[in-house]
Amino acid sequence: MTASTGPIEPAELLARIPDFEQALAFYHRHLAPDTAIDLSVAENVLVYEDSMQKMVFDHTALLPETYIHYMSAYGNPRLREEVAALLTKAFDAPVAAGDVFGTGGVGSALECLAFALQEPPKPGETGPPPLEEGDAVLLPAPYWQGFNWSFEQRPKLKCVPVRLPTEGPERFLLTLEAIKEEFFKYHRLFGEFPRLLVLTNPHNPLGVNYGKELLEEIYAWVIDETDMHIISDEIYCHSQVDGARVPFTGALALSAYERAPERIHVVWGFAKDFGLSGFRTGFVVSKYGPVQRAMLGTTGIEEKKHSMSWFTPVDSLKHYVLGAILETTVNGAGSELYTDYAMRRYRELLTASFERVRDRLVARGIEFVQTEGDNPAQFFWLDLTDYLGKRPPEGAYTVEPLPLAHAADADPDELWLFDYLRTRAEVTLLPGETMHCPAPGFFRLCFTAYQPEVVCEAIDRVAEALEELVVLG
Ligand SMILES: Cc1ncc(COP(=O)(O)O)c(C=O)c1O
């Protein structure tokens, strides 16, 4: 006999979501829609609202029969070819369709890699020894908190932050020295070297592109001096404003990739640049034998294994809708692929939004971490450290916290500020602690989550709320 269950209580579900950003997305979408401007979640409405609905979906039939059937979990040949062609342009380096493997989101693509790198190379294949459970993964911090789920929860690797400086002339700058320092420190402490380096380029939450010279330096050291693999998460690769001081360089365009393609793996997906976060579609790009076998499946008698994508597929509905996006042409008779149009237009929209929001932040005196001319991807990394510990003059403002999972060592003043802005200004920002920021007081603002006028209104409200805060005597 089964116990009868009552109706689903959304508030209980919220309390059970361990990912802070996903919990906020759930809260704002299902529990308290329209109560705040939610700039905490990395989403992008710009492309959809500008062109995707009218140029693609308005012309797409409901559902042809082909798409009710089973399809290749890692993407059928056509989809893989179309994505390879798209990425060849974005990475400015050739991407072979046979090296592209679809999954149910980049979070899943990362998890697939974490499992696949634990498989040994075959005799005759070059490659370092396979990773093992408990091996360390270096991640420059702050970093997207989802890496913890992808690498730790099931593959059982261990995320180790490379803590970037939060003050001084090198504030939040990545250097090879910082990576080396953590690499050797980890060895001193645990007697083993880390086995994987993960770079997010452009970065989340800092937005910046890593320069080619820096990347060549880091990759050369990793390849020549260590046993580490590198995963380059390039999910924001099209999120580029005009005239960025440091242009985007993909891992596949580096000379290191020519020398050691078996050590370098890239992920990308439709969630950010195309704004299709709910579609959960990501891709692994890798030439490495163990990764390719894990993604395709293996038929050998001793090691029959199903494709990792079978557990996290690009299903037929995704094939259908993404196929429509990838195959639509615009501007007359087959003259331009919609994806080329959309990404060109996205750059214009992103640049305009970025400039408008940046100017408003400056006008309202809200500080953010950015060197003039740096790429933002979809974010401003706000520096609200000046407000830590301040309170409204009456000191009486009580903040109703949400039932969200915080790290045990979360800074109480940062959390108070998060709740204060969420309730007083009705604007939700992502606290830096969620992203393993080494110091409290930094918040991520995603400026593509709404049209720029709404983001500017949110900034005005945040500024007013911050202006009320004083040091209590
Ligand atoms: C750097 C990075 N990688 C991966 C993801 C997750 O992508 P997906 O939604 O396709 O799983 C995100 C989402 O925020 C991200 O910021």
**pLDDT tens by residue, 88-107:** 999 999 999 999 999 999 99
Q: How close is the Cα of 395 to the center of ligand 1, in Å?
A: 39
The pLDDT score that the predictor gives to residue 348 is 98
Query: Is 146 a pocket residue for ligand 1 (Cβ < 6 Å)?
Result: yes
Backbone angles phi, psi at 131, to 5 degrees: -70, 160
User: Are the CB atoms for 430 and 443 separated by under 8 Å?
Assistant: yes
Query: Is 269 a pocket residue for ligand 1 (Cβ < 6 Å)?
Result: yes
According to DSSP, residue 368 is labeled B
Give the percent of the chain with pLDDT over 70. 98
Nearest CA, atom 13, ligand 1: 42
224, burial (CB in 10 Å: exposed 0-12, middle 13-18, buried 19+): exposed
Query: Is 328 a pocket residue for ligand 1 (Cβ < 6 Å)?
Result: no
Whether residue 431 is predicted with pLDDT greater than 60 in this model: the reply is yes
Pick the range with the lowest mean pLDDT from 175-179, 220-224, 270-274, 367-371.
367-371
Structure tokens at 116: 């696949």
Task: From 272, 277, 279, 444, give the residue whose CB has the most ligand 1 atoms within 8 Å, as the site to mutate.
Answer: 272
Q: How close is the Cα of 226 to the center of ligand 1, in Å?
A: 27
The residue-averaged pLDDT of 168-183 equals 97
Q: What is the Cβ-side half-sphere exposure of residue 92, based on CA atoms within 13 angstroms? A: 11
Query: Is 144 a pocket residue for ligand 1 (Cβ < 6 Å)?
Result: yes
- The Cα 307–Cα 101 span in angstroms is 10
Query: Is 200 a pocket residue for ligand 1 (Cβ < 6 Å)?
Result: yes
The pLDDT score that the predictor gives to residue 34 is 87
Query: Is 271 a pocket residue for ligand 1 (Cβ < 6 Å)?
Result: yes
**Hey, where are the domains in the chain?**
10-48+339-467, 69-326
193, burial (CB in 10 Å: exposed 0-12, middle 13-18, buried 19+): middle
Instruction: Please measure the distance between the N-terminal and C-terminal CA atoms of the chain and give it in whole angstroms.
Output: 63
With residue 138 as reference, give the H or E element that holds it: strand 136-141
Q: How close is the Cα of 33 to the center of ligand 1, in Å?
A: 23
**What CATH class does 69-326 carry?**
alpha beta
Q: What is the mean pLDDT of the chain?
A: 95
Nearest CA, atom 15, ligand 1: 144
Query: Is 313 a pocket residue for ligand 1 (Cβ < 6 Å)?
Result: no
Angle among Cα 454, 459, 460 to the nearest 5 degrees reads 100
Distance of CA 269 to the CA centre of its chain: 9
**8 pLDDT band (50/70/90 cuts)?**
confident
Would residue 34 be called left, alpha or beta, if left means φ above 0 and alpha means ψ between -120 and 50 degrees? left
Closest by alpha carbon to 40, among 291, 379, 465?
379
Q: How close is the Cα of 396 to the center of ligand 1, in Å?
A: 39
473, burial (CB in 10 Å: exposed 0-12, middle 13-18, buried 19+): exposed
Q: Going by DSSP bridges, is the β-strand pair 329-330/336-337 parallel, antiparallel, or unpaired? A: antiparallel
Q: How close is the Cα of 366 to the center of ligand 1, in Å?
A: 27
Q: At what angle do helices 176-190 and 212-225 cross, to 10 degrees?
A: 30
With residue 90 as reference, give the H or E element that holds it: helix 77-91
The CATH architecture annotation of domain 10-48+339-467 reads Alpha-Beta Complex (3.90)
